[in-house]
Structure 1
Amino acid sequence: MKVLIYTILVVLIVSCAKPKRTPYLIYTPDSLNLTKVELYHLDQEFTLFDQAEREPESTTWAFRSDSVPVGIYQLRTDNGKAITLLLEGTMPVSVQYENNKLTILGNSTTKELWKAQEITEELNESILTLGNSFPDSLESNAFNLHKDSVFALVETHKDNAQKKIKQIINHNENTLLPLLLVQLKAGNHHLFDYSNDANVYFDVAEYLQTYNPNYKPVQNFIHRVDSLRSWVYYTSVTLPGKSLPDISIPNAWDAPIALSRFKGKNTLYMIWNSESKESRKITKELMRWTRPYRYKGLDLCLISTDTNKEKWQNAIKEDNLPIWHLCDLKGKNSPVLAGLGITNIPTFILVNKEGIIIDRSTDKADITKALNQLIQK
């Protein structure tokens, strides 16, 4: 009877015991001396997500968890290695060193990431080789020719690598992979940069917005791309050589003033805000700074991004600015900012008598050079 009772108890204990969970990630390192293998998840920054257990009588380490959120991860070991992974639902994933090469099973997205990283590493090696190709001594003309040749070859290598990365991006739209690929660098060279590859950034932002809009790194990236859109728009609508958009803005008496009324005179526009320290630093010296140009016919027009009419007008009086002043009191939501593509305060836009933009800048020294060239003509 006692034997039967013991048998039943053992059966009950075994049946009630919690089964060991199946690993979602298995890591087989190239070193037998590891004491710690950890997985870090990227949110605002990489934070510890899980710690692996070493399997009994094995070199394999296993990660077990009930829930693994989609995201970018780093597998880190106590020997200093860090391996980037994209975990997106397919489990288990197996990472191992085989013939001194890192391989992965069960995760095609990470495999594509590593492929892109290899392309970038090859580009980096090509750039270093080209950079080291300069002879010890060259005459100035020969040096410039060699330099130009090297730069052209770097751009060729970069373009080839970029084409390969673009293909990987296009084949992995419904993953987080494009988020990482568009930010790849080879040394100091970005494979994609804001000024030349804005459309790539726009496309990737659309992919990510559809795929995983709530993931913090995606939100941060989309925010940067939104700023890029404004910058691209700014450089397109206020590009030197283009006509200034004919926007109407209220003056201090709420009468709409069209910017086209300034045609016939060289005009310097300054977009500013009375609560901006940098703006006020300039407006306090604006009349003295522009006096030589105003004597030669330059007109001044200050377009404010204020929302408080009293503060705006008080600043005008304090800084003694007897010139044109326009403001719709809508602040950052002003359609004027959108119409001119302005993202930074203060910003200068210099326009000639025909209404053609000569220069635009956030830097006073730059706009002074443009003023000197325009007024001398």
Structure 2
Amino acid sequence: MKKNKLSLAVKLFSGALLLGTASAASAVEIQTDDATVNIYGYARLNASYDINEDISKSTGTRSGDFSQVNTGSAEDDEVSGYFGADAVQSRLGVTTTLTSGVKINVEGDFRGGTSGGQFRLRHAYGQYKNWLVGRTWSNYNSFVGNTSVLEMDGVAGNAGLYNRTAQVRYTTGGLSLAVEDPKSKIEGQPSKTGFPTLTARYENKSGRLSYATSALLQEVGYDTGSDDDSAIGFAVFTAAKFQLTDTVTIQGNVNYTDGANGYLWRSGTNYYGEDAYLNGDSVETIVGYSANLGTTIKVGPGSLSAVYGMTSMDWDDAADDGLDVNDKHERNTNAFLTYKWSPVKAVTLGVEYGRYEVKKVSGDEGDANRLMFAAQYNF
């Protein structure tokens, strides 16, 4: 029996830890006869000051939460000025590459639990040649047209699901096809899904233009044992980024959904809206759409970004059919002005102004303004 030899190679990369002192940042690589293991991650502080009401997400990262924006009379005499900070976005991951070509990735952060601080699984997948199986970014997703901001939850109108999900994916060139864990949601009624979500995405680049487009189909249905119905929901998006000059880019996304608002980022009260409602026993799909547009400019030692995004859901048919939807979010918008810079290798600092606006079906509106600071130390 041949004895397997283990060799350990640890590569240290110099970096700096700010906040008053400096120290080394490191990356770890472990090599065996059959595999290479890389340990990576970062430590991150997020701090926010809510100029108006406190809209920070309860699970941490200090991201803004549309559901916490006061609307209508709640805007009157609201308590203002809230500061908070946490480090739950900090991340740890392990990637293993076997000599056979198999790659395994497991990664998590600490945004789990009702108030953050518990370990949360982000990625857990295996990949071999064209096939990927496990949990990672949805195939109905693209970062091509996104503008980078400090807030982890990002901009309304980002492309696709903007989240991770369990899936089986096949990729050839710029085309990816996948079957994914379904996410249908019916207003006021538990949904039942007997089929996976089907997704297709194509990404490519031509000169200064990078682009992506994607589509999905899903079943939206219910079954109480005595009554049942279902409909087909679909969604599409297009994302693009154009390099105007060596120092300026323009990027954006456009999304359209019909019966698939679970894939419409920052819709509903904060993250995702309902796909459908019941009119009697019949499933009626809900239309949604979103878009954002941003620019990034290299300024001084870093980059300055500005972006505006909006997400909207059409509740008119539901209201006409007699549903009480006055308190539903008809439109969510946010905008950010962000400056990021790297004072030393492996360290990124950033400051940001953000504005959130909500309009409900009733016509009630509200807004909130906030400032954010972040410090991230990579290894």
Q: Same fold (TM over 0.5)?
A: no
Q: Greater share of helix residues, 1 or 2?
A: 1
TM-score, normalised to structure 1's length?
A: 0.23
Bigger Rg, structure 1 or 2: 1
Higher-strand-fraction structure: 2
State the structure with bigger RCO (CA 8 A, min sep 6), 1 or 2: 2
Report the TM-score, using the length of structure 2 for normalisation: 0.23
